[in-house]
Structure 1
Amino acid sequence: MISIALFNNRGGVGTTTLVYHLAHMLSRLGHSVLAVDLDPQASLTSLCLDEPELKELWNVCPEAVARDAAPASARGFGRVREGHSVADAVRPVLEGAGDASPLQPVSLKAGLWLLPGSLDLGRFEDKLSADWFRSLAGDAAAIRTTTAFRHVVQRAAEGVDADVVLVDVGPSLDAVNRAALLAAETVLVPLIADFVSLKSLSSLGPTLREWRDSWQTLGLSQVPAGGPAPAMTMAPLGYVVIQPEMRLDRPAVAHARWLDQISAAYSSAVLGQPSPADDSHRIATLRNYRSLAPLAHAARKPMFDLKAADGALGSTQTYVQTCYGEFRDLAENILRRVDEVR
C-alpha cells in the first residue's frame, strides 16, 4: 500500500478536484483506492456524496430526514450512517476518552472507497497543537493524539485492501493539517504557475521538512516499546502544475514565465537542495477543464467520464478524451515517482 497526501498551503489550486479525479482514474486503471478527506472544509466528501447522504452523515436537519425528505437509501440503509466520519472516529482520542474507533469506508464504486470528512475536524486544532510538543517529549497520550489520523486511515485501508491511499488536506499550515500529513508516506504539491504559488513554496517546504524531521528525530524514538511507530516520512513526490488557460497546447504566456522559477523554488524550499531549474520534479502540467466542470458536477462523475447524455456533445467530447488522456498519464507518472522515492 502507498499513501499520498495532496497538499498546498495556498488555497484555490484545485487540490480536491485533483484528488477526486486521481482516485477515479487510479481505480479505472485497476488499483483499489481509498480517498481520505482530512480537510476541515470536507470538500471531497461534499463532492463524492449526495446532499441527502451528507445530511445523514453530519446529522443535518434530522427532522427533514424523518419526514422522508431523503430517500430510504440515505437514511441509515445506504452508503453512509450518522456519526461515521473521520472526525467521529478520532473524537475519543482527541477528547481523552479512549482509542480511535474503526471507521468503515464508504463504497463509491467497485475498487474505490471514501473515508468521509467533517467540518468538526477544525474543533480539534487546539488539542492537536498542544499535544504535538508533548508527543515529542514522550507523552503516551499525546502520541496517540498525534498519530490518531494515521491509525484510522491505516486500519481502513487494510480493511478494504487498498493499493493506494489519497489524502485530501486543507490549505493551511495548522495542527490539523500537520496530523493529516503525518498520515501519509508521500506528499504531492498541486499549484498554479503564478507568483502566489511561487511564494507559498517558501513557507510550505521548510514547514514540511521541520514536521518530518521533528517526528523522526524526536517523536519516533519516544514511542513506547510495543506501540505503533509509524515512520511518517512525508517524502516529496514532486508537483503538478494546473494551468488557468492553455493556448495551442502550451501554457499561456502570462504564466509560462513562472514555470522555470517554480522548479528552482521547489528544489530549494521543499527538498532543501538548491539546483538549476531542470523541471525534473514537475510530474505534469494539466490544462484547466473549467468548461467540463459544470457538466461533471451535474452528472456526479469525473470530467473524463462524461458522455453525450451528460451534455458533452460535439467538440466537447474530444475535450473529454483529452482530459482522460492527461489524467491517465498523470496517474501513471505518480505511481512511477512513488516507486522511485520509496
Structure 2
Amino acid sequence: MSAPIIAFFNNKGGVGKTSLVYHLSWMYADLGLKVLASDLDPQANLTASFLDEEKLEDFWPDGDHSKTIYGSIEPLLRGVGDIAENPYAEEIDERIHLIIGDLALSRFEDELSQQWPHCLDGKERAFRVESAFWRIMKRIIDKSSIDIALIDLGPNLGAINRSILIAADYLVVPLIPDLFSLQGLKNLGPTVREWRNGWQERLKKNPVKDLELPGGQMTPIGYVMMQHAEKMGRPVMAYRRWAERIPRVYSEEVLGKECRSMEKRENGNRLGLIKHYRSLMPMAQEAKKPIFHLLAADGAIGSHQKGVREARENFLQVALEMADRCNIAVPE
C-alpha cells in the first residue's frame, strides 16, 4: 500500500498552516515513520523552515532550479519531456525527506489552467501536466519507502492548488476562530467538491492505459484549530463565538452535511487545538527545530521547558488523531 498523501489547505492565509506541516513532519518522524514533506506553495515557506539561508543558496542559484519542485516539472513545462525521471528530495533527517519549494513554481499556473479543459478532450499532455505533482511525489514515496506524505499549499483557489489537491488522498483544514476562517470554509468546501467531481469526470478520458493517475479523493478528515496569536488581546467572548460556529460551518460547507443535532455541531470533525507558543516559536525558528525539540542550550530554560513539554503533547495528540483517521499504523 502506497503512503497516504495528506494536503493541508485553507484559502485563508495566516492560519499557521506551514508551521503545522513542519511540526507534524517532525512529530511523525519522532514516532518512527518516514515522512515526505512537500513544499508545493510557491512562497516556499516550508522549505525556509527546514533549511537555513546558506543551504537555500545551494538550491536557488540563478537559473538553476534542478533540485527543486520547479526543476522536477520544468521539462514538462517547456514541452521538451515529462517530469524528472528521478525527482529530488532533500534528506533533512533519516526519517524526513523534503521536496524543496521554489518561487518559480508560480510559472506553472497558466499551463495548468490551460490543460484542465483539454483533459476532457482526451489529450495525453493535459493528463501528464495535471498529474505531475502526484507522479513526482509517488516516485519519491516508492524510492524512499515513505510512510506518510504531507503537503503545504498556498492560500488560494488557483490551478496549482487544484492540481495538488487531486493528488491528495486526504485533506486537513487548518484555521483560526474568526470571521475570515468561516468565510474561507464557505469558499473552500464547494470548490473542493467541484474539483473532485471534475477530476472524476476527466479520469474517464485518460487516453494512455499505462499512465497512472491519482484518484483525486481529497477526503476531508477534519480541521485543526490554531489558537490566534492575538487571542490574549481580544475579547474572550468574541473568540468563543467564532469557535462555536466553526463545527457547523465545516460540516455543512466542507462535508456538505446539514447539522441537525447538537452532537454534529460539536467537535467530532476537529482533529485538535494547537496552542500559540508565543515565546517559543521565535526560539524554534532561530534554532531550526520544532518547538518540542528545544533544549536549554537553545534558550528553553525555566518555565519554557513546561511549554516544550506541552507542545510535544499538543502535536502528538493531533498526529495520532490524524493517523487514526487515515488508517496509518504508528509504531509502538
Q: Which residue among 269, 290, 294 is the counterpart of 1:281?
A: 269
Q: In structure 2, how many angstroms separate the alpha carbons of the residues matched to 1:82 and 1:229?
A: 26
Unpaired stretches in structure 2, ≥5 consecutive residues: none
Q: Which residue among 226, 240, 243 is the counterpart of 1:256?
A: 240
Q: 1:245, 1:252 within 8 Å by CA — same for their partners in 2?
A: no
Question: What SS does the corresponding residue of 1:130 show, helix, strand or coil?
Answer: helix
TM-score (ref. length: structure 2): 0.92
- Give the total of aligned pairs: 318
Question: What SS does the corresponding residue of 1:226 show, helix, strand or coil?
Answer: coil
What is aligned with 1:331?
319
Q: 2:68, 2:88 within 8 Å by CA — same for their partners in 1?
A: no
Q: In structure 2, how many angstroms separate the alpha carbons of the residues matched to 1:154 and 1:2?
A: 10
What are the equivalent positions in structure 2 for 1:109-148 lying under 5 Å apart? 109-148=93-132
Question: What SS does the corresponding residue of 1:124 show, helix, strand or coil?
Answer: helix
Matched, 1:188 2:172: yes
Question: What SS does the corresponding residue of 2:326 show, helix, strand or coil?
Answer: helix
**218-227 vs 38-47, which moves further:** 218-227
What is aligned with 1:31?
33
What is aligned with 2:45?
43
How far the C-alpha of 1:163 sits from its partner, in A, is: 0.4
Q: 1:260, 1:279 within 8 Å by CA — same for their partners in 2?
A: no
Q: Which amino acid aligns with 2:92?
A: L
What is aligned with 2:250?
266
Q: 1:182, 1:233 within 8 Å by CA — same for their partners in 2?
A: yes
Q: In structure 2, how many angstroms separate the alpha carbons of the residues matched to 1:321 and 1:245?
A: 20
Q: Percent identity?
A: 41
Q: Which amino acid aligns with 1:198?
A: L
Q: In structure 2, how many angstroms separate the alpha carbons of the residues matched to 1:246 and 1:142?
A: 45
Unpaired stretches in structure 1, ≥5 consecutive residues: 63-80
What are the equivalent positions in structure 2 for 1:188-337 lying under 5 Å apart? 188-216=172-200, 218-224=201-207, 225-244=209-228, 252-276=236-260, 277-337=265-325
Q: Which amino acid aligns with 1:176?
A: I
Q: 1:206, 1:269 within 8 Å by CA — same for their partners in 2?
A: yes
**45-54 vs 159-168, which moves further:** 45-54
Matched, 1:52 2:54: yes
Q: In structure 2, how many angstroms separate the alpha carbons of the residues matched to 1:299 and 1:112?
A: 17
Q: Which amino acid aligns with 2:66?
A: G
Q: In structure 2, how many angstroms separate the alpha carbons of the residues matched to 1:297 and 1:304?
A: 12
Q: Which residue among 130, 149, 163 is the counterpart of 2:147?
A: 163
What is aligned with 1:7?
9
How far the C-alpha of 1:273 sits from its partner, in A, is: 1.1
RMSD, matched Cα: 1.8
**Cα 1:246–1:174, aligned 2, differ >3 Å: closer, same or farther?**
closer
Q: 2:65, 2:71 within 8 Å by CA — same for their partners in 1?
A: no
How far the C-alpha of 1:11 sits from its partner, in A, is: 0.3
Q: In structure 2, how many angstroms separate the alpha carbons of the residues matched to 1:127 and 1:82?
A: 18
How far the C-alpha of 1:82 sits from its partner, in A, is: 5.1
